[in-house]
Structure 1
């Protein structure tokens, strides 16, 4: 499955609205993670590893062109099932958008609106925040050119 065929954040939000049970929501998030394309061993390196996550998380950033019109796409993976699903949700929010959109959008607010704040351990919440911060820093760097 390619990143283009992964569900959008709107699809994910709609699915969450239809699923009342948090155990079912977790299963859905885990399925999202299973559908992420696998990173190559070369991509799973220290440069791409996200600091601040208890599980191993790797993010690969692709920038169309530096500057104000930069569009960023991301690939990601984790060695933990639920975390890989959280990576998928994060990529659904940010991947394929302009650097300006990414810098201006705090995905953690969307995670809160979906109810993750109450249903993730503080350690996992910190990991999500670390992923979001990393993506936004990459976007800030792309804007700076």
Structure 2
């Protein structure tokens, strides 16, 4: 699936949820499914600055694609970062750089989040783009 198809699938999943309580629970459930990171990957280099909770994103470049894994010490941020891992992991650096984050507003996530959590979400999205740029430059 393309990044756009992954985003559309997520938007459709959220459209079936009736209120923010259900969406909140769904995000938390997605976070519980996230593999998480081993302690040796929970480094300052992988720590996302600007998040209320501690959030780490690690990237690995294999066969021309980026694979992300992430973790958080908070249940909601872990769910949020799991959305990003699900959408962007397994795609080329160029696909990631060419993509947008419109799905965030389509599911209404920013209106649901407090300003500090919304800032954290933006920091996560910037880190994913940063990894794409960094690995593209290593080519």
- Asked if TM exceeds 0.5, the reply is yes
Whether the 8 Å CA contact 1:39–1:77 is kept in 2: the answer is yes
Whether the 8 Å CA contact 1:9–1:92 is kept in 2: the answer is no
Partner SS state of residue 97, structure 1: coil
Q: Does 1:84 align with 2:82?
A: no
After superposition, residues 65-84 of structure 1 pair within 5 angstroms as: 70-84=64-78
Q: How many corresponding residue pairs? A: 133
Superposed CA RMSD: 1.3
Deviation at 1:10, TM superposition (A): 4.3
User: Where does residue 61 of structure 2 map in the other structure?
Assistant: 63
Partner SS state of residue 45, structure 2: coil
Q: Distance in 2 between matches of 1:77 and 1:10?
A: 24
User: Where does residue 130 of structure 1 map in the other structure?
Assistant: 123
User: Where does residue 135 of structure 2 map in the other structure?
Assistant: 142
User: Where does residue 13 of structure 2 map in the other structure?
Assistant: 15
List alignment gaps of at least 5 residues for structure 2: 1-5
Deviations 1:72-92 (A, max 9, x none): 010001111111000011112
Q: 1:44 aligns with which of 30, 42, 45?
A: 42
Whether the 8 Å CA contact 2:11–2:103 is kept in 1: the answer is no
Q: Distance in 2 between matches of 1:18 and 1:132?
A: 25
Deviation at 1:14, TM superposition (A): 2.2
List alignment gaps of at least 5 residues for structure 1: 1-7
Q: Does 1:54 align with 2:52?
A: yes
Q: Which consecutive segments of 4 or more residues in structure 1 shift more than 2 A?
A: 8-14
Q: Distance in 2 between matches of 1:11 and 1:27?
A: 18
TM-score (norm 2): 0.90
Deviation at 1:12, TM superposition (A): 2.7
Deviation at 1:9, TM superposition (A): 4.1
User: Where does residue 102 of structure 1 map in the other structure?
Assistant: 96
Whether the 8 Å CA contact 1:53–1:130 is kept in 2: the answer is yes
